[in-house]
Amino acid sequence: MQEEKLRKGPWLEEEDEILTATVALLGERRWDALAKASGLSRSGKSCRLRWMNYLRPNLKHGQISAEEQQIILQLHELWGNKWSRIAQRLPGRTDNEIKNYWKSNLRKKAQVHEQETFGGLGNKAKQNLLIPECERVTPRTHNGDFTSGKDCISGTDYSSDTLEPLDFAFLNSPYEVRLSDWISCWSSEKSEIMQHQWHCCSLDLSCSCYTAWISKDSDDGLWDSLDSIWDLDYSKMMID
DNA sequence: AACTTTGTCAACCGCCTATCT
DNA sequence: TAGATAGGCGGTTGACAAAGT
C-alpha cells in the first residue's frame, strides 16, 4: 500500500540535499527508518544506494585512471565479478562504477590481458606471477581471524594456510601513494587509524594486524568510540 | 538533417546473508 | 530456534548522449 507511493527514477537535487542532511544527522544505518525520517518518498534501499554510489563524501567521480584500470583488471582476474571486493581496493570508487566500467571498457581488454599475461596458466600460476616470491607469505586473512597472519606491531607471525596471498600484490603498488593522499584529507584521528592499517594490511579490517591492534584495548565500548572517531562515514567500509 | 546504433551510467530488482526479536 | 527484517551484492534495465550511416 505505502510502497506504491514510493518515488523511483533519477534523484532530484532537492532529494539529495535532504538525504545528505538526514545521513549527517542519523548516520549510515537503518536505512528504512532513515528514509522515513527524511520524509523522502524513497525506499531505504534506494536511499542507501544513492548515498553509497553518489552522495558519500570522498567519492571520485572522474575517469578511471590507467593505474586503477590495471588494478581492476588484475583483481577481476583473481576474484571474478566480486565488484564490492574490488571496490574496497579502489578508494573513492563504488562497486557499481567498477561494474559499469568493466562492462563498457575492460571486458575486451581483459581477454587480451589474460592471453598476453597468463596464456594457459591456472589460478595458482597466475597468483605466483602477480606476487613476488618474497611476499607470498602474507599477514592477512579474510575470515576475520586475527590469530592468522603477521602483526606488524608485535612482529608476531600468525601465518596459516587460510591466508590470501593475492592481496599482498598491491601493498607496494604506486597506487599506495595515491591512497595516502586521499587519507590525508581526513581528520587526524581517522587518518592515523587508516594510515596504520593501510601500511600493514591494505585497508581491510579482517587484516590480522588491525584486529590484533584493536584487541589490545578490546572492550565493549570500543566500537562505540570508533564510531565517533570515524564520524560514521567510513565505518561501513572498514567494518564490512 | 534524420535516423540508427552503440556506449555510458544511474537506478532498480531479486536473491542471499546477517541480525534482531 | 524460527520467522521477520534490514542490508549487501551482482545482474539487469532504461534513459540519455555520442557516434556512425
> Strand C: which nucleotides have any atom within 7 A of a protein Cβ?
5-12
Confidence of residue A21 (pLDDT cuts 50, 70, 90): very high
CA neighbor of A92 nearest in space, from A71, A78, A112, A108:
A71
Domain boundaries, chain A: 2-55, 66-120, 133-239
What does the block give as the cell for A97? Answer: 562504477
Superfamily for the A2-55 domain: Homeodomain-like (1.10.10.60)
CA atoms of A81 and A78, how far apart (whole Å): 9
Q: How far is the CA of A120 from the C1' of C9 (A)?
A: 30
Residues of A (55-114) placing their beta carbon closer than 7 angstroms to any atom of strand B are 61, 96-97, 99-101, 103-105
What does the block give as the cell for A4? Answer: 506504491
pLDDT at A51: 93
> Which of A58-62, A142-146, A173-177 has the highest average model confidence (pLDDT)?
A58-62
**Whole-number average pLDDT of chain A:** 59
Is a pLDDT exceeding 80 seen at residue A219?
no
**DSSP summary character for residue A174:** T
pLDDT at A109: 65
pLDDT at A147: 31
Contact criterion met (CB below 8 Å) for A182 and A120: no
pLDDT at A107: 65
The per-residue pLDDT for range A66-78, each reduced to its tens digit, is 888 888 888 888 8
Q: How far is the CA of A139 from the C1' of B1 (A)?
A: 64
> Which of A15-19, A191-195, A213-217 has the highest average model confidence (pLDDT)?
A15-19
Higher-pLDDT residue of A24 and A204 is: A24
Is a pLDDT exceeding 70 seen at residue A2?
no
Is a pLDDT exceeding 60 seen at residue A113?
no
pLDDT at A81: 85
Higher-pLDDT residue of A212 and A128 is: A128
Residues of A (115-154) placing their beta carbon closer than 7 angstroms to any atom of strand B are none
Q: How far is the CA of A155 from the C1' of C12 (A)?
A: 47
| Domain A66-120, architecture per CATH | Orthogonal Bundle (1.10)
- Where helices occur in chain A by DSSP H, the ranges are 13-26, 31-38, 44-50, 66-79, 83-88, 95-101, 107-118, 123-130, 175-183, 188-201, 208-216, 222-230, 235-239
Cβ of A11 < 7 Å from strand B? yes
The per-residue pLDDT for range A222-235, each reduced to its tens digit, is 333 333 333 333 33
Which residue lies nearest C9, CA-to-C1' measured? A84
Mean pLDDT of A48-57: 90
Domain A2-55 and domain A66-120 have a common topology: yes
